C-alpha cells in the first residue's frame, strides 16, 4: 500500500533522516508516471509538518460546529473524494460542486473547478471558511487550536509564530502533497513494459489518444493540460454555469472548467464539476454524442462516432489502464487533546 512504500521515502526526503527537502523545491521520489511535485519555498516539507497536516485533515474540530472534517468530503475510502453528486456540509446543506479527488493534487497549477486558487496553501482555507462547507471563522479556528495542548505544541515546534490560520494552510498543503498514486498500466507501458497494455486495454488506449481525441486535453503522463474547457456541462433552462468566467469576467469563459486528472477515476464517480454523470459509460456516451451543445462549446468537442465495441474498450482503459498499483489508503490518525 501507498503508506508502506511511498510515504516513508517521502518522509525520508522531508528530513526524517536527511534534510533533502530543506535544500530543494520539489519532490522527486514519486510513483512511476508522476512528475515532480513542486514545493513552495515558503512551505518546505518536513515529517513533522506532514504529520500535523494529516491530523488537521481528519479533525472535525476544524469546522465551526465540529461535525465535519476535510476527510468528510475527501474520504480516503471513496477515492479521496465522495460518492454522491453534492456533499452535505456542516449544516447539512449540499455543496454546489462535485467534490474532486485530492490524489496527485500537487500536480495541479490551479485548484478548484474554476481555478480560483493558485496553490494548495491558498486552497486549504477556503472550505473552512465557506458557510456551506465547514463554516468556521479563522479567529475561532486559531483560538480553538491554541486551546488544544497537542496542537499548540506541534505548531510551536514547527512554525516560529505558532498557531495561525496561514500555518494551518501550510500544514494541510504539505500533507496533501504526499497523497500520490501512479504506476498504472499506462505508466508502465510508457516506462518500457510493452505488455502492460495488452488486449482490450491497449485498444482503449489507442482510442483515447486517437479517434476519441481525449489526449487533446488529458495530455499523457499528467493527464491534464492545466487549462479550462467548455464541454457542455452545467447547462440548464436558465443558462450555463459561469465556471472560469466568474473569475475572469469574460463571456468567452462561461462554462469553462478545469481539466481534471484521470488516474484512478474509476474510484471517484460521479463525474464532472456538477456530478451529472454517474458512470464512466455515461461519460463516454456524453463525449461520443459531442458534449452539451452551447455557444461556447470547445472546438475539440465533436461527435466521435465510436462503435459499441470501441466505447467498451475506451471505458476499460479508463477503468483499468489508469488504475494505480499502489493507491493511498490512510487510516484516521489519533488526534491530539
Binding residues for heme c: 70, 73-74, 214, 217-218
Phi, psi of 7 (to 5 degrees): -60, -45
CA distance 13 to 6: 11
C-alpha span between 30 and 296 (Å, rounded): 38
Cα(4)–Cα(10) distance, rounded to whole angstroms? 11
Q: Helices marked H in 37-164 — which ranges?
A: 47-57, 70-73, 120-124, 126-129, 138-146, 149-158
Helix H or strand E encompassing 239: strand 239-240
Q: Which residues of 233-263 are buried (b: 16+ CB within 10 A; e: fewer)?
A: bbbeeeebbbbbbebbeeeebbbbbbbbbbb
- Per-residue HEC secondary structure of 282-312 comes to HHHHHHHCCCCCCCCCCCCCCCCCCCHHHHH
Between CA 80 and CA 23 the distance in angstroms is 30
| C-alpha span between 293 and 165 (Å, rounded) | 43
> What CA–CA distance (Å, rounded) separates 2 from 335?
21
Q: Which residues contact 139 (CB under 8 A, 6 or more apart)?
A: none
The cell 479550462 sits on which residue? 228
CA–CA separation, 330 and 175 (whole Å): 12
Annotated binding site: 70, 73-74, 214, 217-218
Amino acid at each position: 500500500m501507498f503508506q508502506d512504500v511511498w510515504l516513508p521515502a517521502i518522509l525520508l526526503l522531508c528530513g526524517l533522516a536527511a534534510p533533502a527537502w530543506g535544500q530543494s523545491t520539489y519532490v522527486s521520489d514519486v510513483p512511476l508516471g508522476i512528475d515532480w511535485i513542486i514545493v513552495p519555498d515558503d512551505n518546505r516539507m518536513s515529517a513533522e509538518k506532514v504529520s500535523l497536516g494529516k491530523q488537521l485533515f481528519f479533525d472535525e474540530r476544524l469546522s465551526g460546529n465540529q461535525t465535519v472534517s476535510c476527510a468528510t468530503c475527501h474520504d480516503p475510502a471513496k477515492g479521496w473524494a465522495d460518492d454522491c453528486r453534492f456533499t452535505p456540509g456542516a449544516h447539512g446543506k449540499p455543496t454546489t460542486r462535485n467534490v474532486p479527488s485530492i490524489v496527485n493534487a500537487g500536480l495541479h497549477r490551479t485548484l478548484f473547478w474554476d481555478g480560483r486558487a493558485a496553490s494548495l496553501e491558498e486552497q486549504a482555507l477556503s472550505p473552512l471558511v465557506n458557510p456551506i462547507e465547514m463554516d468556521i471563522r479563522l479567529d475561532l479556528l486559531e483560538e480553538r487550536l491554541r486551546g488544544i495542548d497537542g496542537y499548540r505544541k506541534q505548531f510551536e515546534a514547527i512554525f516560529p509564530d505558532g498557531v495561525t490560520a496561514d500555518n494551518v494552510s501550510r500544514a494541510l498543503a504539505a500533507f496533501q502533497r504526499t497523497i500520490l498514486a501512479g504506476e498504472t498500466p499506462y505508466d508502465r507501458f510508457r516506462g518500457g513494459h510493452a505488455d502492460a497494455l495488452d488486449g482490450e486495454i491497449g485498444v482503449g488506449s489507442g482510442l483515447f489518444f486517437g479517434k476519441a481525441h481525449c489526449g487533446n486535453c488529458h495530455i499523457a503522463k499528467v493527464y491534464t493540460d492545466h487549462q479550462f474547457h467548455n464541454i457542455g456541462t452545467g447547462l440548464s433552462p436558465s443558462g450555463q454555469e459561469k465556471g472560469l468566467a466568474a473569475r475572469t469576467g469574460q463571456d468567452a469563459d462561461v462554462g469553462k472548467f478545469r481539466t481534471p486528472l484521470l488516474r484512478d477515476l474509476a474510484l471517484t464517480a460521479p463525474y464532472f464539476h456538477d456530478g451529472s454523470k454517474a458512470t464512466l459509460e455515461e461519460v463516454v456516451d456524453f463525449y461520443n454524442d459531442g458534449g452539451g451543445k452551447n455557444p461556447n462549446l470547445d472546438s475539440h468537442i465533436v461527435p466521435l462516432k465510436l462503435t459499441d465495441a470501441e466505447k467498451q474498450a475506451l471505458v476499460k482503459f479508463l477503468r483499468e489502464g489508469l488504475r494505480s498499483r499502489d493507491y493511498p489508503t490512510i487510516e484516521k490518525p489519533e488526534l491530539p487533546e
